[in-house]
Structure 1
Amino acid sequence: MSALVEVKDMCKVYNPGENEVRALDHVNVTINENEFVAIIGHSGSGKSTLMNMLGCLDVPTSGTYLLHDQDVSRMSDDDLSDIRNREIGFIFQGFNLIQNLTALENVELPLIYRGVGKRERTELSRNALTRVGLEKRMSHKPSEMSGGQQQRVAIARAIAQAPPVILADEPTGNLDSGSTKEIMGILKDLHKEGRTVIIITHDNDIAAQAERIIRIKDGQIEADYVQETEIYEE
């Protein structure tokens, strides 16, 4: 496997000076293509800041971030936006769906921003919703769906144009145990198909379902190890 993500000596400092906060403190981590990784830490550990860096939602104070051998740590906002559109599918805890749009329209929306033609984006969106088991819910709006179904719409939106990286921030945080199992099953299937899946979580049970666990504490990598158990065991 080749390196997909390379973080080198990364720092993120807020309020530089006497009252500075080091959200990330000289972090080094490499994630290869087709890995299934959980980044775990308590509130304030730095995991959300690291997610923002990996997702090209923010840039570090110092250090570098290579994504597909391209240094994105000093890119402009427009260039970062292009990288996010091409490389990363986001799944958020709060679903981030537009309430007055149908499931199909929610999945299509990012594709409109990417300039995908109507026929192609409709086909991509329908395929993605079918992929997550919502072929009969395409015309439903978020208020007409359960939390688990809404999260599956969010996953369909993330995977519609087959980005190489799936970045999931607490993807099961608002779900019951049944929906949590369904969502984790979908993420595992995406990994089996060759995607790189990175989950940000505070939940040890969720992290235990990944191949590799990276623990972060006080802005530093505390542990980084590969699981010994088979993650696809029932």
Structure 2
Amino acid sequence: MAKHSETTFASTCVTCPHRETGFCGTLLESSSGDSKAGRQPGWQHFVTARADEQIVVRNQAYDDVFVLCTGWAFRYFQLSDGRRQILKFLLPGDLFSPIAIFEGTFHFSVKALTDAQVSGFARSEIGAKCLANPNVQSAIANSCIADNRDATELLTALGQLSAEQRIAYLLLHLMQRVATRNVIREQRYPFPLRQQHIADAVGLTSVHVSRVFSLFRDRRILTLSEGVLQVSNPPELERIGSLR
């Protein structure tokens, strides 16, 4: 990965469309009154990663807490035989994990799904701001709550739903998250996942995923082509994949 200094992308944070809704927006707002002299040197830096490039390695210690700025990434756990469970897809504004604020060793790996830019914040700086600023405390708490909710729902989907329902659930979950970050027209969603990514997220083979997508296409529910998910029948997709 290529690493850049704090000043290289200074304007990126100022103009970032996710600044107001993401954790990093609250963190940077708490720093707006800080003087340069009062900040820890190198408290924020940026890295860029190409698609399929490793960003974080499981069981390695890091001094930073990472936020995805642009692109898509995913966190995952890989078994010794090469099988992979994707734990969560990361979108712009997402923390890699809120738990990383409290411990330095990652218990999962993170890989770029597309070309991506990542911001790293010094953990010690976040800890100091958490003690001093209630807004940062609230942002951390909200991130932990959302992460736990997503993990609970995914576990339920993997344990109780059929293959068709699992995939529909995943698509609905991602559609909702994508829609908060993009203007969606005619139910067309940017969707750079390949079938293997979907398979690794819902515990199926890529062949099985292909069959389900063919079924969805034949039933005129949705199609996935060239990185775009076109949903033709949202109510039916909701009926299949909703946990509620």
TM-score by length of 1: 0.31
Higher relative contact order (CA 8 A, sep 6+): 1
- The structure in which a higher percent of residues are helix is 2
Which structure shows the bigger proportion of residues in strand conformation?
1
